[in-house]
């Protein structure tokens, strides 16, 4: 890959320093002073790069690998060619993620567009808003009456923070986001174009058409949540919409009013969650899954991509399909359908071959 002008390499660390930061072990102390500056996949890693392996299936990729270090579990260390330094970790995936964040801290959050170190002259801030020290407000941002923003938080260009909204410390609000009727915790990352706190979709059929139901709840987002670009989170109707601590939400996700999502969940792009759904802790939801309103999903559930959730799901299960059922059942049914399709292709019309 060509030199990336958006994220420049780190000035360099010794492998001994990197291993210490990762809480890992350098397999050979003779490599302690080798310098590393970046991360890369095995297949194109060069001098100065760190890569990682999780499986013996990576063996062939070492043919083109010239990395300065490979992170792996002790059980896989025998796969690494002798000339490549090895960092031993019980969780190589997490260690590699930590290394990437160490080398490229600017890539962990939305980038600043203006270089402001304070409040831009073109920002519009109501006199009653309260900003702690170290808050950065980029050009053309608007902050409403009685809003409160904590120390170290950055408000991106053209973003809108509504009246009475409270945002904690060390948050990143990217350009073009809008936050209304919400309470935001500490360390929250909100990417470009996110919409939080608009009214939910609620109507009552009447003799002359649909009558709008007022949406007077809030959105509560707990600490260390990350919300991807163009995701929308509706405020509650009369209760609150809640996103639990540490949950990570991808781009273009729709979360309806009164939804309650637990701690440390992962929700992938284009998921739609209808109103008043309750989702437990540690739930993982694959892309484009759709979840019916007023259902309960237990702790630790895993939902396959493109699934349709119509009923409650018991804790700890894996589910897939439309409507969703236990994943093993869904995969078996899918395999049977594939087999039938192949048979029909070999024998058009379903006639017996002579």
**Length reported for the chain:** 354
Rounded to a whole number, what is the distance in angstroms from the first to the last CA of the chain? 57
How many whole angstroms separate alpha carbon 84 and alpha carbon 25? 15
Residues with a catalytic annotation lie at 257
- Residue 117: partners with Cβ closer than 8 Å, 6 or more residues away: 136
Contact 84, 65 (CB under 8 A): yes
């Amino acid at each position: 890959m060509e030199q990336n002008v958006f994220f420049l390499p780190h000035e360099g660390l010794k492998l001994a320093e990197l291993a210490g930061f990762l809480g890992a072990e350098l397999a050979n102390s003779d490599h302690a002073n080798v310098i590393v500056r970046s991360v890369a996949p095995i297949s194109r890693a060069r001098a100065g790069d760190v890569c990682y392996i999780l499986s013996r299936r990576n063996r062939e990729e070492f043919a083109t690998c010239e990395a300065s270090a490979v992170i792996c579990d002790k059980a896989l260390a025998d796969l690494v060619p002798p000339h490549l330094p090895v960092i031993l970790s019980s969780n190589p995936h997490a260690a590699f993620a930590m290394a990437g964040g160490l080398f490229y801290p600017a890539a962990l959050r939305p980038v600043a567009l203006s270089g402001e170190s304070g409040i831009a002259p073109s920002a519009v801030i109501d006199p009653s808003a309260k900003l702690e020290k170290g808050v950065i407000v980029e050009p053309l941002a608007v902050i409403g009456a009685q809003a409160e923003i904590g120390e170290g938080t950055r408000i991106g260009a053209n973003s809108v923070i509504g009246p009475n909204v409270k945002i904690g410390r060390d948050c990143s609000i990217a350009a073009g986001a809008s936050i209304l009727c919400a309470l935001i915790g500490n360390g929250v990352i909100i990417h470009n174009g996110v919409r939080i706190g608009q009214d939910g979709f609620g109507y009552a059929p009447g003799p002359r058409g649909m009558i709008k139901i007022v949406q007077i709840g809030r959105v509560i987002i707990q600490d260390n949540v990350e919300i991807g670009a163009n995701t929308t989170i509706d405020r509650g109707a009369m209760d609150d919409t809640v996103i639990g601590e540490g949950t990570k939400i991808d781009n273009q996700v729709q979360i309806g009013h009164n939804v309650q999502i637990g701690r440390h969940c992962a929700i992938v792009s284009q998921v739609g969650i209808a109103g008043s759904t309750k989702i437990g802790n540690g739930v993982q939801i694959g892309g484009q899954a759709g979840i019916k309103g007023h259902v309960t999903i237990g702790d630790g559930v895993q939902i396959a991509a493109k699934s349709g959730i119509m009923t409650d799901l018991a804790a700890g299960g894996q589910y897939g399909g439309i409507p969703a059922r236990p994943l093993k059942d869904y995969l078996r049914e899918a395999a049977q359908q594939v087999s039938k399709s192949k048979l029909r292709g070999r024998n058009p019309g379903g006639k017996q071959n002579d």
